[in-house]
Structure 1
Amino acid sequence: MSIDRRAALLEALADHVLAHGLASASLRPLAKAAGTSDRMLLYYFTDKSDLIAAILETIAVRLTAMLAGATGAPQPFAALRATLLESLSSEAVWPYMRIWLEVAAGAARGDPLLTEVGARIGRGFLAWGKAQLLSASPAIRSREAAQLLVFIEGALFLKSLGLEDITASALTGAAKPAQ
């Protein structure tokens, strides 16, 4: 099995899922998006679950690289929270956030694959956030990383509902008028 071909397929498949969502992630549409057959996809991936997990991991790696470019050196909690909130709310990153919301919704419905992959990706983002924090001690860094993840996830959920004013109120203490 060619690792380069598998990686190229994953990049094309990640692009497709980012553009069309997880609902479009059945074998035939994925194969068409990658310019191959569904049988060839199963040559490179054990089964559909393996394929979806690999696509989601590819998307998470891309997102982490984008965020790393936005954050730079480790920062104090409030500064990192503001930087991440701005980055994650941008139009360029929103397709990644929509996929993350789809993963969370599927996990909430009890989908074991999305629960497993979502937990793995979530813990990966927690570890990434911990490495980005400038904190007084490892214990404080761990707590702040957890707080950061909880805050960002809540802000993401509120944005998806059109309630960014609530996030703004939490940050500034004064609510922006709802639009």
Structure 2
Amino acid sequence: MSTGKPDREARHAALLDRLADHVLDHGLAATSLRPLARAAGTSDRMLLYYFTDKDALIAALLSHLADRMRGLLDQSVAAEPLAEAELLVLLRARVLDDAFWPYMRLWLDLAAGAAGGNAQYRQVGEAIGRGFVGWLEPQIAAPDADARRQSTARLLTMIEGMVLLKALGLDDVGAEAV
């Protein structure tokens, strides 16, 4: 006899996918309940059936988007750790690619909200950022753990700068760094 749990989980995952697509298209400004419900083809009350409140919905949605983004980044993983300069070229190509850019726009949106004082965005942004650091670090060829951490910090700083420069129409300046 089925408990309905796998079916509920499948509906929940499909719902998050529809919501994620909506947020990638429209940004975090479009995360009030009614537009999200409309994008998901449901009611705002049904959204709250799956999530205890709007904060839980946004946290789950951003976590889901981070998982999707990591999945895309995983396609860029080399078989062996790379030198910092090689990894920078590979990551720059991935994160500035038009297909990946909606995630970076959302990342900038999240960062702007965090900088503006939104505690939830800061908490979620920090978790996503630290997750990226954890993803990046083992991909760097370095003589020891300290050198690997320093390379990770440099790469993260350079990639974030390149994302910001592209957003401002200065991607040609970022290209000069590699």
TM surpasses 0.5 = yes
- TM-score normalised over the length of structure 1: 0.91
The one-letter code matched in structure 2 to 1:53 is: A
| CA deviation after TM superposition for structure 1 residue 71, in Å | 2.6
1:121 to 128, 131, 145: 128
The one-letter code matched in structure 1 to 2:143 is: A
What root-mean-square deviation, in Å, do the aligned CA atoms of Structure 1 and Structure 2 show?
1.2
The one-letter code matched in structure 2 to 1:158 is: L
Distance in 1 (alpha carbons) for counterparts of 2:126 and 2:18: 24
1:43 pairs with 2:69: no
| CA deviation after TM superposition for structure 1 residue 72, in Å | 2.6
Segments of 4+ moved more than 4 angstroms: none
Q: Hey, what does 1:177 align to over in structure 2?
A: none
1:31 to 23, 32, 37: 37
Write out per-residue CA displacement over residues 96-122 of structure 1, whole angstroms, 9 at most, x where no aligned residue: 000000000000100011011001101
Q: Hey, what does 1:146 align to over in structure 2?
A: 153
1:169 pairs with 2:176: yes
Do 1:31 and 1:37's aligned partners in 2 also have CA atoms closer than 8 Å?
Answer: yes
Unaligned runs of 5+ in 2: none
Q: Hey, what does 1:131 align to over in structure 2?
A: 138
Q: Hey, what does 2:64 align to over in structure 1?
A: 58
| CA deviation after TM superposition for structure 1 residue 128, in Å | 0.6
Distance in 2 (alpha carbons) for counterparts of 1:79 and 1:23: 36
Unaligned runs of 5+ in 1: 172-179
| CA deviation after TM superposition for structure 1 residue 95, in Å | 0.4
Q: Hey, what does 2:90 align to over in structure 1?
A: 83
* Matched positions, count: 171
Do 1:71 and 1:80's aligned partners in 2 also have CA atoms closer than 8 Å?
Answer: no
Q: Percent identity?
A: 51
Write out per-residue CA displacement over residues 42-66 of structure 1, whole angstroms, 9 at most, x where no aligned residue: 1111211111111111111111111
Distance in 1 (alpha carbons) for counterparts of 2:172 and 2:98: 17
Distance in 2 (alpha carbons) for counterparts of 1:82 and 1:31: 40
